Amino acid sequence: MRGRSALLALTAAVCALLTACTDSPPPPLVSAPPTTVTPTRPTDPTQLVVGVDSVKGGYNPHLIANQTTVTRALGELVLPSVFHTGVDGSPLLDRTLMVSAEVTKANPYTVTYTIQPQAAWGDGAPIAAEDFAYLWQNMRSQPGVVDPAGYRLITGVSARDGGRVADVTFSQPYPGWRSLFNDLLPAHVLKDAPGGWTGALSETFPAAGGPFSIRNIDQDRGEILLQRNDRYWGQSTKLQQIVLRQAGPADLVGALKSADDQLAVLDPGDSTMRALNELGKSVTLTTVPNPVVVEVLLRQTAPRLSDPTLRAAVFAAIDRDALISIGSGGGPSASLRADSLVLAPSQPGYKPSIPAGVGTPNHDLVNQLLTQAGYTKTNGSWIRDGVPLNLVIGAPNDRAPYSQLAGVLQQQLEAAGIGATILNTSGDQLFGQVLPATTTTTPTVTTTTSPANDQGGDPVNSVDVAIVPQAVGG
Q: pLDDT (tens digit, 9 = 90+) per residue, 186-228? A: 999 998 887 778 787 888 888 899 999 999 999 899 999 999 9
Could you read off the pLDDT of 1-24 as tens digits, one per residue?
333 333 333 333 444 455 443 333
Pairing of strands 263-266, 47-52: parallel
How much is the average pLDDT of 92-116?
97
- pLDDT bracket for residue 68 (50, 70, 90): confident
Count of residues for the chain? 474
Mean pLDDT to the nearest integer, 292-314: 90
Residues whose CB is less than 8 angstroms from the CB of residue 254 and which lie 6 or more positions away in sequence, other chains included? none
What pLDDT does 378 receive? 92
pLDDT tens-digit readout, 388-416: 999 999 999 888 789 999 999 999 999 99
Instruction: Collect all residues with Cβ–Cβ distance below 8 Å to 256 and sequence separation of at least 6.
Output: 19, 21, 51, 264, 276, 279, 282, 283
- pLDDT for 438 equals 42
In terms of Cα–Cα distance, which of 199, 116, 204 is closest to 163? 116
Count of other CB atoms within 10 angstroms of residue 25? 18
pLDDT band at 39 (very low <50, low <70, confident <90, very high): very low
Rg over alpha carbons for the chain, rounded to the nearest Å, is 24
Closest CA to 370 of 319, 320, 423, 305: 305
H-only helix segments in 222-379? 249-258, 270-277, 308-316, 320-328, 363-372
pLDDT for 336 equals 82
CB neighbourhood size of 246 (10 A): 19
For residue 445, is pLDDT > 80? no
Tell me how far apart the alpha carbons of residues 168 and 247 are, in angstroms, rounded to a whole number.
44
Strand, helix or coil for residue 282: helix
Query: Is-contact 51 252, C-beta < 8 A?
Result: yes
Q: What are phi and psi of 370, to 5 degrees?
A: -70, -35
pLDDT at 301: 85
CA distance 344 to 381: 37
* Residue 227 DSSP SS3: strand
Sort strands 47-52 and 7-20 into parallel, antiparallel or unpaired. Answer: unpaired
Q: Do residues 80 and 94 touch, judged by C-beta distance below 8 A?
A: yes
Tens digit of pLDDT for each residue in 347-380? 778 888 888 778 889 999 999 999 999 999 999 9
| Helix/strand/coil percent split, the chain, to 5 | 25, 25, 45
Looking at residue 473, its pLDDT comes to 64
Q: Is the pLDDT of residue 229 over 70?
A: yes
DSSP codes, 93-119? E-TTTEEEEEEEEETTEEEEEEE-TT-
pLDDT, residue 27, reads 30
Higher pLDDT pick, 86 / 18: 86
Strand partners, 187: none
- Range with the poorest average pLDDT among 100-109, 185-194, 287-296, 400-409: 287-296
Span 77-104, average pLDDT: 92
DSSP for 373-439, written as a single string: TT-EEETTEEEETTEE-EEEEEEETTSTTHHHHHHHHHHHHHHTT-EEEEEEE-HHHIIIIITT--T
Residue 162 banded pLDDT, cuts 50, 70, 90: very high
Strand ordering across the sheet containing 263-266: 212-218, 223-228, 241-246, 47-52, 263-266, 7-20, 284-298, 465-471, 390-396, 419-425, 446-447
The rounded distance, in Å, linking the Cα atoms of 304 and 310 is 8
Q: What is the mean pLDDT of residues 431-446?
A: 56
What is this structure's pTM? Answer: 0.79
Least confident span in 120-124, 277-281, 363-367? 277-281
Instruction: Say which amino acid occupies 12.
Output: A
Distances (CA, A) of 412 to 302, 362, 420: 20, 11, 9
The answer to whether residue 453 scores a pLDDT higher than 80 is no
Average predicted confidence (pLDDT) for the chain: 83
CA distance 170 to 107: 9
| Secondary structure of residue 292 in the 3-state scheme | strand
**Which comes out higher in pLDDT, residue 144 or 169?**
169
Percent of the chain with pLDDT over 90: 52
